[in-house]
Amino acid sequence: MLISIDQVLTKEEVRSFRAELDAADWQDGAATAGTLAKGVKRNQQLADGSELATRLGQHILRRLSNTPLFISAALPRTIYPPKFNRYAGGGNYGAHVDSALMFLPGSSQQMRTDLSATLFLAEPEEYDGGELEVEGPFGVQSVKLAAGDMVLYPSTSLHRVTPVSRGARVASFFWIESLVADEGERTLLFDLDQSVQQITPLLAADDMRLVQLTGVYHNLLRRWVRA
């Protein structure tokens, strides 16, 4: 399931982010890549744990906590602190799958990566190339969203970022461990929750159809949440 979420950040917030990111000290992204990924990763990243990355990342997390579509789709248990990357001058990231387990920064705690997220911070017309290509059961989906918009996709997916031939592609990226590990179960819950939200304004709060449907959602969630 690939889900686009509009306006996680407003245009004003994006401009504020970019004013700082465009003047930031970017480092070689290969330094943080795994053994296999080093050979296919050609981009720049902000230093992990830098004051700027931490502050902007915390702002993103605050916005996500108030984004119902994200909560519904991800059912987040743990979110890896957002990172920031930049692709320019032919920069790209070849086909790869994200690591299944990651240590949270400065901690011995591990998290499972169920969902990957890319929050775009450059408008599509600012750069050529730089599409996020995600392979799924129905073929390859190409994603290039407006600045401030975000895409969620399964971390199990083979994915890549195509070469940027003009301008710069700036984005934030991170991973989510969901309360519901199974992608199929999570998709069913998301579809059911969206249906409940769509019919709620049309029915009285005590309408038994709505009460029963909401009960089905919560009982499935109770069954499928992993301890």
Is 223 a known ligand-binding residue? no
Q: What is the DSSP letter of 107?
A: S
Is 96 a known ligand-binding residue? yes
Task: List Cβ neighbours of 169 (8 Å cut-off, separation of 6 or more).
Answer: 86, 87, 88, 91, 120, 122, 126, 127, 129, 130, 161
CA gap 198, 99 in Å, rounded: 36
CA gap 192, 187 in Å, rounded: 9
Is 169 a known ligand-binding residue? yes
Contact indicator for 106, 80 with CB cutoff of 8 Å: no
Q: What is the DSSP letter of 145?
A: P
Is 59 a known ligand-binding residue? no
Task: Could you list the beta-strand ranges (E) of the chain.
Answer: 3-5, 27-28, 41-42, 44-45, 76-79, 83-88, 92-96, 101-103, 110-112, 115-120, 128-129, 132-136, 139-143, 150-154, 159-161, 164-166, 168-178
11 phi and psi, to 5 degrees? -60, -35
101 phi and psi, to 5 degrees? -125, 140
Binding site for 2-oxoglutarate, residues?
A: 169
Residues at the binding site are 96, 98, 159, 169
Known binding residues for Fe cation are 96, 98, 159
